[in-house]
């Protein structure tokens, strides 16, 4: 789980990650865990889903709301037809509208854009891409804070 702790200064270390098992661990028993952590700009191994490669946001010009655009790297899990992919977008407050998924000719991957409406000062946003009942891209999460 990745957690962002609210802070009033950028200098404060406010991002933490921890692992939470699907089932509770039995008290008093031994548990062994192995993991590998890569801390780098790009993953050293290709994953089973398309990674997010860019996020952009800006005010809508001809309508109220904030536009968000997410670019996904080309990946076999995405397939070739954006019509076969379901975009699941949610927000903690406000309303999501104008969602659109298309092939990104510049990257060869997919581009998802949507609008957050409601003039909210803070919102927790989440976007997922699914095809045939399977997740096909990294889960994108974003805390939008209006300035």
Count structural domains, the chain: 1
- Comparison of pLDDT for 11 and 59, the residue scoring more: 59
Band (19; pLDDT cuts 50, 70, 90):
confident
Spatial CA neighbour of 54 closest among 110, 103, 93: 110
Q: What is the mean pLDDT of residues 93-107?
A: 96
What is the extent of the structural domain holding 119?
48-147
Task: Give 133's DSSP letter.
Answer: T
Could you give the CA distance from residue 45 to residue 107 in angstroms, rounded to a whole number? 19
Judge whether 39 lies within some domain: no
What pLDDT, on a 0 to 100 scale, did the predictor assign at position 79?
92
20-70 pLDDT per residue, tens:
888 888 899 888 877 777 777 776 667 899 999 999 999 998 889 999 999
The upper half-sphere exposure of residue 40, i.e. CA atoms within 13 Å in the direction of its Cβ, equals 7
C-alpha–C-alpha distance, residues 131 and 101, integer Å: 13
What integer pLDDT is reported at residue 91 of this predicted model?
97
Q: Would 131 be classed as within a structural domain? A: yes
Question: Is residue 7 in some structural domain?
Answer: no
77 within a domain of the structure (yes/no): yes
CATH value at residue 143: 2.60.40.10
């Amino acid at each position: 789980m990745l957690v962002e702790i609210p802070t009033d200064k950028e200098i404060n270390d406010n991002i933490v990650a921890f692992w939470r098992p699907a089932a509770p661990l039995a008290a008093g028993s031994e548990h062994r865990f192995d993991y590998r952590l890569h801390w780098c700009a790009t993953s050293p191994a290709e994953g089973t889903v398309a990674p997010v490669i860019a996020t952009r946001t800006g005010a809508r010009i001809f309508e109220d709301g904030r536009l968000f655009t997410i670019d996904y790297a080309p990946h076999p899990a995405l397939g070739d037809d954006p019509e076969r992919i379901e975009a699941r977008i949610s927000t903690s407050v406000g309303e999501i509208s104008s969602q659109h998924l298309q092939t990104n000719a510049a990257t060869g991957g997919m581009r998802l854009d949507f609008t957050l409406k409601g003039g909210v000062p803070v919102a927790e946003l989440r976007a997922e891409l699914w095809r045939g009942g399977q997740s096909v891209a990294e889960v994108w999460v974003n805390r939008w804070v209006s300035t």
